[in-house]
Amino acid sequence: MRPGLSAFGLDPWWLILAKSLVIFVFLLLTTVVAIYVERKVMAWMQMRVGPNRVGPYGLLQTLMDGIKLALKEGIIPTAADKPIYLLAPIIALVPAIMAFAVIPFGPSVSVFGHWTPLQLTDFPVAVLYLLAVASIGVYGIVLAGWSSGSTYPLLGGLRSTAQVISYEIAMGLTFAAVFLLAGTMSTSGIIEAQDKLWYIVLLLPAFVIYTVSMVGETNRAPFDLPEAEGELVGGFHTEYSSLRFAMFMMSEYINMITVSALATTLFLGGWRAPWPLSLWEGANTGWWPVLWFTIKVWMFLFLFIWLRSTLPRLRYDQFMNLGWKVLIPSALVWVMLVATFRTLRNQGQDHWSIALVIGGLVIALVVVLLVWRLMLADRARDEDRAAEEAGAGRVPFDPMAGGFPVPPMPGQAAPEFRRPSTTAKEADRA
């Protein structure tokens, strides 16, 4: 056991209770602020105004939205499985909060004369605990879609299952690369291992793969297929309203905060100050590390907002190809390279870090080329399909034959729409 772990488990009950309360308040306040910031930043990026009515600059808009949701009537569908339907939002929310128990906010500080680490708890397999808790949270989404007794929520739940299977494998492989280099699975130990050089430099491919995987894990755009409004009318939470709907939204934002904090811990040195602030002796002592940690977390939250404002939603086949054909193979190759360099370091090789950085750049370039190749292959496949349909001739059909408009099936052609001429309009009026 690492010496740092001996500092945990010694706090009195009141300090443990205070830490738990502080973590919950931090997550709650960050969620409220993140929703407001997301709406304002998206409005700024899309040349809109955003919330500006309730409170100065619309600052109280998120609070009013929460009160409105809490006071709304909760409606339970007749066909729903009531116990599971009511339990699903809790299953989605509670693991999101529990995951923050092993996230370090800072080093040991004095609280009313008692020295304690700014972390609720830690143990030798803390990161595996995080991965397990994140996996439990998806059951809330799956059960919400199944228990609603409706087709569209069920499809959203099934998509979420496929998403988790695809992207948690890649995420777990990035964890393995960090474990190999740090020599520990405890979050406090991983931060101690980055006292000289952050892992974003040594493990660049793992950082890139984790960043993509965390967006898919949280069901955020452009990977928000479980909530695709265009074809699912809102996704797995279509049949939810009032406070239960608010719990799903809260779990989504808390999951964003959790994966951002985990990325900060694994790759950005955790609560350690960035250079050149790290040259100041007091930058990594006292309460200052809490500020550095919060700034790094908000950098990732801004990335989530930026992606949602910029990128369109991926097609399902593109989403699966990215996970299974690019991220997972690249993560496997990178883990083998990291294991090789770790063995060389144990044997006394001096320049292992330089070789690791060079290997990381090569793997990152290969990942970019694979993504580009997949994009070109999708475009060529679409063009070939269009050429085949044009050459073979397509059977016309009436989209209103069944009384409801339907899109054309493969091999069918929708009737060409022509705008009526001015002469025809005048004849109709006469």
Q: Can you tell me whether residue 108 is helix, strand or coil?
A: strand
Are 218 and 252 within 8 A, CB to CB?
yes
User: Would you state the pLDDT for residue 2?
Assistant: 42
In degrees to the nearest 10, what's the CA dihedral of 215, 220, 223, 225? 140
Are 291 and 27 within 8 A, CB to CB?
no
In degrees to the nearest 10, what's the CA dihedral of 276, 281, 286, 287? -20
Break the chain down into helix, strand, coil percent, rounded to 5. 70, 5, 25
Instruction: Name the DSSP class of 185.
Output: -
User: Would you state the pLDDT for residue 406?
Assistant: 74
In this prediction, the residues of the chain whose per-residue pLDDT falls under 70 are 1-4, 229-230, 349-352, 374-397, 402, 404, 410-430
User: Would you state the pLDDT for residue 216?
Assistant: 85
The stretches of 100-150 forming alpha helices (DSSP H) are 126-147
CB atoms within 10 A of CB 316: 14
CA distance 81 to 153: 13
Of the candidates 6, 255, 260, the residue with the CA atom closest to the CA atom of residue 123: 6
CA distance 288 to 163: 38
CA distance 35 to 353: 40
Are 144 and 88 within 8 A, CB to CB?
yes
